[in-house]
A and B are shown apart, each in its own frame.
Chain A
């Protein structure tokens, strides 16, 4: 092998790592400023919890497909949210189990002749129910649309209020989740969407649908995802918020201006990553039309979700996410370097293409190339080790900076031992976990390029969720 070729490859990998970590460092700095500014007023805002008639009423939309095991606990918890004016709309998306019957029995749901109006497309509605016991609870029973997006659209059509919150049926909210998530809409009327920080519930003590104690999971895969989520939410999304370039609002918890979502046509039923696709469409339509708007993010940990604890479920999830990323980015390729799209089109989308969509190929290629080159004797072991060490070292640095952000802000994990454990995981996840997730992402990318349908698969609930 030509030494020039080897040097060129070394430069490629070094350049790639430098670029990606430089962007992350900038995001990190933005996130520090943003979180500091947020925290400066958060305490006073939390104390100012006097509700008035001027608060924005919110519709909470809960899509449910075969959620018989957990739906009652989840809805009971949602009905206890501390907020002056909200309705809960459960969308039974043609469940084949007894989800609907359980709702009818438990909450006294009765058929209700509602003048339903279809503003965004979804499969036909079979019936609408209203609770005899809880005036703010309704159920939309519809034919299965084959996607969460279709169910959410059914909920949007049925909801009454100007703001809606899309929540997974197995999400664990906190009593003040809505109050916190609605703040961006009160503080800036240009806000069309706001995401909330999602944390991992595995290992935590959950009772009656509410989080009682925060603990780190014992399962290594779940623990690695705790660090991953800290990175993704604390500085990933907070950093992008600073530039009004948030591209993803998690499907587990997102708050939207209903009229804005109706204007862009609602969720896209055939999208794999319907959450990202909707946010990109909001960016595309609002930015290109020149209408001022804001997509923002609330750093408080307001929603907790169950993470996969086995390789099979995790693998399917990551393949699906990568597939959804590819699909969403290409569906909105018009945003890329669009002169009206600002930071979204010129920074965020190119970043997502280069580092999030195709990045895993470069990184996996790098590992393979280094291994082959070293085994073939084209590259001295010291060089291969240095580059491998660099990839690991930068990964650990990034995770540690997320831990610093966590320490600066929310101290969600209360024990000192938790912090040490998180630091240990931040190191260990780079040996095996990181490589296997990269591999799944490459698989997802290849599957998307070949037009394969990603698998969903059944996720086994963690002890925290099933034992609640």
Chain B
């Protein structure tokens, strides 16, 4: 009896494995058939609707009465996806014609229905479409999704809200940026650029001023989305008021105007290397004669990046010509300083 049991179990397992294999194979054939049918349907849809969408993208309206009636629910979702693709590529007045077309085709209703679905992909599509259609009636539902744990869903919610009403959205989105550490910064940058500096500058500056060091560092990354003069004066204030190296480095990156000499000297000799590196970068941007004395010692810094940035900054100084730069390189006694200068000179095409 004992000797037969493993064999019987093996036989049962074998039969089960073969049955599962057969089911999986049939399922994969089914998936392939469904994929092919989907491809065909997409081709038909594209053939029929791409010209209409393309013309609408260029601002041309045309009657679509009969065509609308032929659209089933599945086709409407696929058309909504295509519509979003077209809409994502255009700016300006043409968007209005495209949005009108979507409303006429009932795509707004389709998007609203999709937003209530459980599927992440449906809700993502809905958020995107409702954002493009600036559907204020969906504001509350989309705002709820801002707190959703799924990163793409929450960030798409932020994008949609910004499309719908940037003035109202940005004061909500900016505090969320600090809470949602996993939001890709490229996407945040895009949202802020959609809103534009008029809507971003004030909430961003206010948030930075009241934020702790970690959040300040995080928010300062997006300084390019705001008006430079406001960010510049804020960054200058941060450089005197804060001590956290992360904040100092981020503020040095953002600042464009001049800083008082004592501040520059303090930062150029800061104990943390990336603060010194950003200070060297900044001095390169200033290009002032009096900063040369601060930059030269940085060529012998212990950190490679500081030496490299200091050398790059020196080669950018407008009052030093190629010969002066070569002389400066030759008179360095520290081999690391010479190495950094040679590297920077070669990059500037001066070797």
* Chain A interface residues toward B at CB < 8 A: 3-4, 6-7, 10-11, 13-14, 17-18, 37, 39-41, 43-45, 47-48, 50-55, 112-115, 117, 130, 186-189, 382-383, 386-387, 389-390, 393-394, 396-397, 400-401, 403-404, 406-408, 411, 416, 419, 423
**Mask for B1-40, Cβ within 8 A of A = 1, else 0?**
0110111011101100110110011011101100110000
| Min CB gap A45→B, angstroms | 7
Could you say which residues of chain B place their CB within 8 Å of the CB of A40?
A: 119-121, 124, 152
A54–B125 Cα distance when bound, in Å, is 25
15 contacts between A and B (CB under 8 A): A4-B2, A41-B120, A44-B124, A47-B88, A54-B188, A113-B342, A113-B343, A115-B340, A186-B186, A382-B7, A383-B10, A396-B17, A404-B28, A416-B32, A423-B28
Which 8 residue pairs of A and B lie closest in terms of their CB atoms, listed nearest first?
A10-B6, A115-B339, A393-B17, A407-B31, A186-B184, A40-B121, A113-B342, A41-B152
Closest residue of B by beta carbon distance from A39 = B121
Asked if B186 and A423 sit within 8 Å, CB to CB, the answer is no
For B343, the closest partner residue in chain A by CB is A115
In the complex, the answer to whether B185 meets A54 with C-beta atoms within 8 Å is yes
Partner of B27, one of A7, A52, A117, A404: A404
Contacts of A419 in B (CB 8 A): 28-29, 32
- For residue A408, give the distance in angstroms from its CB to the closest CB of chain B: 6
Whether A187 lies near B351 (C-beta < 8 A) is no
B104 within 8 A of A: no
Task: Given A7-B3, A115-B336, decide whether A407 and B28 contact each other with a Cβ distance below 8 A.
Answer: yes
- B68: Cβ under 8 A from any A Cβ: no
Query: Which residues of B212-233 have CB atoms within 8 Å of chain A's CB atoms?
Result: 221-222, 224
Q: Is there an interface contact between B10 and A403, defined as CB atoms closer than 8 Å?
A: no
Whether B17 contacts A390 by the Cβ 8 Å rule is: yes
Asked if B181 is at the interface of the complex by the 8 Å CB criterion, the answer is yes
CA distance A387 to B8 in the complex (A): 10
Q: Indicate whether A423 sits within 8 Å of B25 (C-beta atoms), given known contacts A390-B17, A411-B35.
A: yes
Bound-state CA distance A382–B7 (Å) is 9
Q: In the complex, given contacts A7-B5, A11-B6, A41-B121, what are 19 additional A-B residue pairs having Cβ atoms less than 8 angstroms apart?
A: A10-B7, A10-B10, A40-B119, A44-B125, A113-B346, A115-B308, A115-B342, A115-B343, A189-B182, A389-B14, A390-B14, A393-B21, A394-B13, A396-B17, A400-B24, A400-B25, A403-B25, A411-B32, A411-B35
- The answer for the CA separation of A186 and B184 in the assembled complex, in Å, is 5
Assess whether A403 is in contact with B121, with CB atoms less than 8 Å apart: no
The yes or no answer to B128 lying at the interface (CB within 8 A) is yes
Q: Report the separation of the CA atoms of residues A437 and B97 in the bound assembly, to the nearest whole angstrom.
A: 62
Please determine whether B124 and A113 come into contact, CB atoms closer than 8 angstroms. Answer: no
| Chain B, Cβ-Cβ closest to A399 | B21
Mask: chain B, 324-336; 1 = CB below 8 Å from A; 0 = not = 0000000000001
The answer to whether the Cβ of B136 comes within 8 Å of any Cβ in the partner chain is: no
Identity of the chain A residue whose Cβ is nearest the Cβ of B85 in the assembled complex: A47
Give the dominant DSSP class at B's interface. Answer: helix
The interface of chain B, by Cβ under 8 A from chain A, is 2-3, 5-7, 9-11, 13-14, 17-18, 20-21, 24-25, 27-29, 31-32, 35-36, 84-85, 88, 119-121, 124-125, 128, 151-152, 156, 181-182, 184-190, 193, 221-222, 224, 304, 307-308, 336, 339-340, 342-343, 345-346, 351
Count: A-B pairs, CB below 8 Å: 145
Question: Which residues from B are CB-within-8-Å of A112?
Answer: 343, 346
A108 CB to closest chain B CB, in angstroms?
A: 14
**B120–A37 contact, CB under 8 A?**
yes
Please determine whether A383 and B7 come into contact, CB atoms closer than 8 angstroms.
yes
Beta-carbon contact of A408 and B31 below 8 Å: yes
Tell me the smallest distance from the CB of B244 to a CB of chain A, in Å: 18
**A contact face: mostly helix, strand, loop, or mixed:** helix
CA A13 to CA B10, docked complex, whole Å: 10
Please name the residue on chain A nearest to B84 by beta carbon. A47
Closest to A41 in B: B152
Q: Which residue of A lies closest to B120 (CB)?
A: A40
With the chains together, A13 CA to B339 CA distance in Å? 64
Q: For the complex, what is the distance from the CA of A400 to the CA of B345, rounded to whole Å?
A: 60
CA distance A310 to B3 in the complex (A): 42
Q: Are A14 and B186 in contact (CB under 8 A)?
A: no
Cβ contact within 8 Å between A407 and B181: no
Instruction: Report whether A115 and B304 are in contact in the complex, using a CB–CB cutoff of 8 Å.
Output: yes
A131: min CB distance to chain B, Å: 13
Given the complex, which residues of B lie within 8 Å of A187, measured CB to CB? 151, 182, 184
A387 with B308, Cβ < 8 A, contacts A54-B221, A113-B346 known: no
Shortest CB distance B60–A (Å): 24
A22–B152 CA distance with the chains assembled, in angstroms = 33
Are A401 and B24 in contact (CB-based, < 8 A)?
Answer: yes
Question: In the complex, which residue of chain B has the Cβ closest to the Cβ of A10?
Answer: B6
Taking a contact as CB atoms under 8 Å apart, the answer to whether B20 and A54 are in contact is: no
| Residues A386 and B7 in contact, CB atoms below 8 Å apart | yes
CA distance A10 to B3 in the complex (A): 8
Contact A397:B24 (CB < 8 A) given known A3-B3, A40-B120, A54-B189? yes
**How far apart sit A411 and B304, CA to CA, in the bound complex (Å)?**
47
C-alpha gap A284/B18 in the complex (Å): 40
Also in contact, A53 and B224, with CB within 8 A (given A115-B307, A188-B182, A419-B28): yes
Chain A proximity of B256: nearest CB distance (Å) = 15
Closest to A51 in B: B186
CA separation between A382 and B32, bound complex, in Å? Answer: 38
Closest B residue to A409 by CB, please name it.
B31
B24 near A52 (CB under 8 angstroms)? Answer: no
Do the beta carbons of B85 and A397 come within 8 Å of each other? no
Given contact pairs A6-B3, A186-B186, A404-B27, A397 touches B20 in the complex (Cβ within 8 A): yes
Q: Contact check, A397 vs B182: say whether CB atoms are below 8 A apart.
A: no
Could you tell me if A404 and B31 are in contact, using CB atoms closer than 8 angstroms? yes
Using A40-B120, A53-B224, A419-B28 as known contacts, say yes or no to A397 and B17 having CB atoms under 8 A apart. yes
A52 near B17: Cβ-Cβ < 8 Å: no
Q: For B182, list chain A residues within 8 Å (CB).
A: 187-189
Q: Which single residue of chain A is at the shortest CB-CB distance from B1?
A: A7
With both chains docked as a complex, state the minimum distance between the C-beta of B113 and any C-beta of chain A, in angstroms: 18
Q: Is the CB of B343 within 8 A of A393?
A: no
Smallest CB separation, B303 vs chain A (Å): 10
Within the complex, the shortest CB–CB distance from B326 to chain A, in Å, comes to 12
Q: How far is the CB of A398 from chain B (nearest CB, A)?
A: 9
Task: Enumerate chain B residues within 8 angstroms of A389, measured Cβ to Cβ.
Answer: 14
| Contact call B10/A386, Cβ cutoff below 8 A | yes
Neighbouring A residues of B3 by C-beta, 8 Å = 3, 6-7, 10
Residues of A within 8 Å of B304, CB to CB, are 115, 117
- Chain A's closest residue to B340 (CB) is A115
